[in-house]
Amino acid sequence: MSEKKPSGEQWGSKLGVIMAVAGSAVGLGNFLRFPGKAADYGGGAFMIPYFCALLLLGIPIGWVEWTIGRRGGRFGFNSAPGIFSVLWRNPLSKFLGTIGILVPVVIYVYYVYIESWCLLYAGYYLVGEFDSLGKNPYAYSEFFKQTTGVNEDGAVFGQGISPIVWFFLATFAVNFIVIYRGLSGGIETFCKWAMPLLIVAALIVVGRVLTLPEQPIPESWQKSMPVVLSSNEWERTRAKLIDPSVNVNQARGLVRSEFERFFQHPDSIHQGIPFAPPAGFLKTDDGFATALAEIRDVGQGNRYREWLGKVEASLNFDEKRTLQRLERRQMRVDQAISRWRERHPDASNSHDTAIDPHLESQRVDIEAARKAIVTHHIAEPLPSLSREMRKLSIAEDRIEPAQLRAAAIEVAEIPRTVNNGLGFMWNPDFSELRNPEVWLEAAGQIFFTLSVGFGIVINYSSYLKRKDDLVLSGLSASSMNEFCEVCLGGMVAIPATFIFLGTAMTLDVVAQQSSFGLGFNTLPTVFASMAGGRWFAVAWFFLLFLAGITSSLAMLQPAIAFLEEGFKLKRHASVSVLGIGTLIASLLVVYYSKDLLVLDTMDYWVGTFMIYVLATIQVILFGWVLGIKDGFKEMESGAEMRVPRLFRFIIKYVTPAYLFIVFAAWIFQNAPARIADVVTNPVVRTTVLGMIGFWVLLLLLVVFADRNWSKEGRGAREIES
Distance CA 230, CA 202 (A): 44
pLDDT digits (tens, 9 = 90+) for 293-310: 554 454 433 555 565 666
Tell me the backbone φ, ψ of residue 147, rounded to 5 degrees. Answer: -70, -40
Rounded-to-integer distance, Cα 236 and Cα 231, Å: 9
Q: Residue 497: CA atoms inside 13 Å, Cβ hemisphere, count?
A: 30
Residues 6 or more apart in contact with residue 578 via CB below 8 angstroms: 105, 556, 559, 560, 563
Angle between helices 137-148 and 99-126 in degrees, nearest 10: 130
pLDDT band at 320 (very low <50, low <70, confident <90, very high): confident
Q: Which of 17-31, 545-559, 703-717 has the lowest mean pLDDT?
A: 703-717
* Side-chain half-sphere exposure of 296, counting CA atoms within 13 A: 24
Residue 362: pLDDT over 90? no
Q: How confident is the model at residue 343 (pLDDT cuts 50, 70, 90)?
A: low
pLDDT-derived band at 198, boundaries 50, 70, 90: very high
Task: Convert the pLDDT of each residue in 623-668 to its tens digit.
Answer: 999 999 999 999 999 888 899 999 999 999 999 999 999 888 888 8
**Least confident among 173-177, 274-278, 567-571, 584-588:** 274-278
Separation between Cα atoms, residue 84 and residue 405, nearest integer Å:
56
For the stretch 395-429, pLDDT in tens is 333 444 445 555 566 667 888 999 999 998 998 88
* pLDDT for residue 387 is more than 50: no
**Residue 451 pLDDT > 70:** yes
Q: Compute the average pLDDT of residues 168-197.
A: 94
> Can you tell me the distance from the alpha carbon of 27 to that of 33, in angstroms, rounded to the nearest whole number?
10
Find the range with the poorest average confidence among 259-273, 350-364, 450-464: 259-273
- Residue 383 pLDDT: 42
Q: Name the nearest CA neighbour of 585 among 172, 187, 120, 164.
A: 172
Q: Give 78's pLDDT tier (boundaries 50, 70, 90).
A: very high
Q: What is the mean pLDDT of residues 380-385?
A: 41
Handedness of CA 403, 408, 409, 411 (dihedral sign): positive
pLDDT at residue 123 tops 50: yes
How far is Cα 499 from Cα 495, in angstroms, rounded to an integer? 6
| Percentage of the chain modeled with pLDDT above 90 | 48
Instruction: Indicate the helix (H) or strand (E) that contains 436.
Output: helix 436-450
**DSSP calls for 617-643:** HHHHIIIIIIIHHHHHHHHTTT-SSPP
List Cα–Cα distances, 569 to 85, 464, 488, 708, in angstroms.
21, 22, 41, 12
- Phi/psi class of residue 62: alpha, beta or left (left: φ > 0; alpha: ψ in -120 to 50)? alpha
Instruction: In whole angstroms, give the CA distance from residue 16 to residue 14.
Output: 5
The counts of H helices and E strands in the chain are 36, 0
Share of the chain above pLDDT 70, in %: 77
- Residue 412's identity, in one-letter code, is A
Please name the residues in contact with 475: beta carbons below 8 A apart, sequence gap of 6 or more.
Answer: 59
Higher pLDDT, 97 or 407: 97
The conformation of residue 431, written as its DSSP 8-state character, comes to G
**Residue 395 confidence (pLDDT):** 38
Report the greatest alpha carbon distance in the chain.
94
Cα 695 from Cα 108, distance rounded (Å): 15
How much is the pLDDT for 172? 97
Instruction: Identify which of 385, 388, 394, 391 has the alpha carbon closest to the alpha carbon of residue 245.
Output: 391
Q: Tell me how crowded residue 355 is: count the other CB atoms within 10 A of its CB.
A: 20
pLDDT digits (tens, 9 = 90+) for 532-553: 999 999 999 999 999 999 999 9
Distance CA 79, CA 556 (A): 11
pLDDT > 50? residue 271: no
* Residue 472 or residue 403, greater confidence: 472
CA-nearest of 595, 461, 520 to 65 is 461
Closest CA to 439 of 671, 673, 665: 665
What single-letter amino acid sits at 104?
P
Facing residues of 416 across strands? 215
Question: To 10 degrees, what angle do helices 231-242 and 285-296 make?
Answer: 120
The β-bridge partners of 215 are 416
Q: Which residues are 226's β-sheet partners?
A: none
- As a whole number, mean pLDDT of residues 337-362 equals 64
The backbone torsions φ and ψ at residue 215, rounded to the nearest 5 degrees and listed phi first, read -105, 140
Of 11, 61, 54, 37, the C-alpha closest to 453 is: 61
Long-range contacts of 364-368 (CB under 8 A, 24+ apart): 366/326, 366/329, 366/330, 366/333, 367/330, 367/401, 367/405
List the one residue out of 76, 122, 194, 54 whose CA is nearest residue 474: 54
Q: Count the Cβ atoms, other than its own, within 10 Å of residue 657.
A: 12
Asked which of 6-20, 175-189, 640-654, 695-709 is least confident by mean pLDDT, the reply is 6-20
Residue 448 has pLDDT above 90, yes or no: no
* Vertex 232: Cα angle to 226 and 238 (nearest 5): 60
Instruction: Please give the C-alpha separations between residue 487 and each of 54, 196, 279, in angstroms, as whole numbers.
Output: 16, 15, 31
Instruction: Please write the tens of the pLDDT for every residue from 223-232.
Output: 544 444 555 6
Contact yes or no for 77/86 (Cβ under 8 A): yes
Q: How far apart are the first and last CA of the chain?
A: 8
What does DSSP assign to residue 474?
H
